[in-house]
Homo-oligomer: A and B are copies of this chain.
Amino acid sequence: MKALEKRISEEGEALSSNVLKVGSFLNQKIDTAFMFEMGQEIACLYKNEPITKIITIEASGIALALAAAYYMKVPVVFAKKSKTSNVSGEVYRAAIHSFTHNCDYNAVIPKAYLSSDDTVLIVDDFLADGNAVIGLASMIGQAGAALAGAAIGIEKGFQGGGDALRAKGVRVESLAIIEKMEPNKIVYR
């Protein structure tokens, strides 16, 4: 998606060789109209799949997931990062390592919200080492649901998570794939 590459190049800040800040339009301040353009692009990429549900993980994946869901006319379920007092009953669970926060956490989805009848699209704002997608795919597998693929805003291609998933046969569509980041230069695949 050329418009996303342009936006990353104009507003993104490479805080190091592998941390990219795009909070000005994607994941803290949200450019609403642009977020819906991204959602529409995802809907278009997966228009031939019989998707019944979008799964994402709190917090920054929720906006892109909802924007895609608007065009795909399906519900969104987001995995929560810990068991809280308002998650009751039986849950699917996966341990996920966060690249951004350098810590491990448990992601949970109540069993009532995902079933073997579902064909699921995973949506997230970023894909780095792929751990979030692997964790969400694990929960989809626990439910006996079908995985249609993953739709990502920005994939950091140089971290290899996307290609490792593709090598396992998972369809991964990223609206922008960054091959290399340097202080004043971002190279796209």
Contacts and interface: CB of A to CB of B under 8 A. Distances in A.
A59 interface: yes
Contact of A76 (B24, B32, B70, B73): B32
Interface in A71-108: 73-78, 80, 84-88, 100-102
A62 interface: yes
Contacts of A69: 30, 32
B30 A77 contact: yes
B23 A70 contact: no
A66 interface: yes
Contacts of A58: 58-60
A19 interface: yes
Interface size class of A (residues with CB under 8 A): 35 or more
A114 to B, nearest CB: 9
A69 B74 CA distance: 20
A159 B155 CA distance: 44
Given A23-B86, A30-B75, A62-B62, 12 more contacts: A13-B88, A23-B113, A28-B109, A28-B113, A29-B113, A30-B76, A30-B78, A58-B60, A63-B63, A63-B66, A85-B102, A86-B100
Interface of A: 13, 15, 19, 21, 23-24, 28-33, 35-36, 58-60, 62-63, 66-67, 69-70, 73-78, 80, 84-88, 100-102, 109-110, 112-113
